[in-house]
Amino acid sequence: MVPKMAAILRFYYNYMLALPENDHQTPAMRLGLAKGKIYARDLIGYA
């Protein structure tokens, strides 16, 4: 259970959390791994 929660937290931090002091970019965006922020609705898969 703990490894799954750690993976979810890591994904949230790297792809969903954009802080103002980083020009509203996620760490993945700054590294060039993502073009934009991923929202919870995209993660869950609503069409």
CA 35 from chain centre, in angstroms, equals 11
Q: What pTM was computed for the model?
A: 0.76
Q: How far apart are CA 17 and CA 38, in angstroms?
A: 9
- Which pLDDT score, from 0 to 100, does residue 46 have? 67
Coil/strand/helix, residue 28:
helix
The model's pLDDT over 1-47, given as tens digits with 9 standing for 90+, comes to 999 999 989 999 999 999 899 899 999 999 999 999 988 888 787 65
- Which pLDDT score, from 0 to 100, does residue 12 have? 92
Q: Which of 20, 19, 16 is nearest to 42 (CA)?
A: 16
- Which pLDDT score, from 0 to 100, does residue 19 have? 87
- Which pLDDT score, from 0 to 100, does residue 47 have? 58
Identity of residue 24? H
- Which pLDDT score, from 0 to 100, does residue 40 have? 84
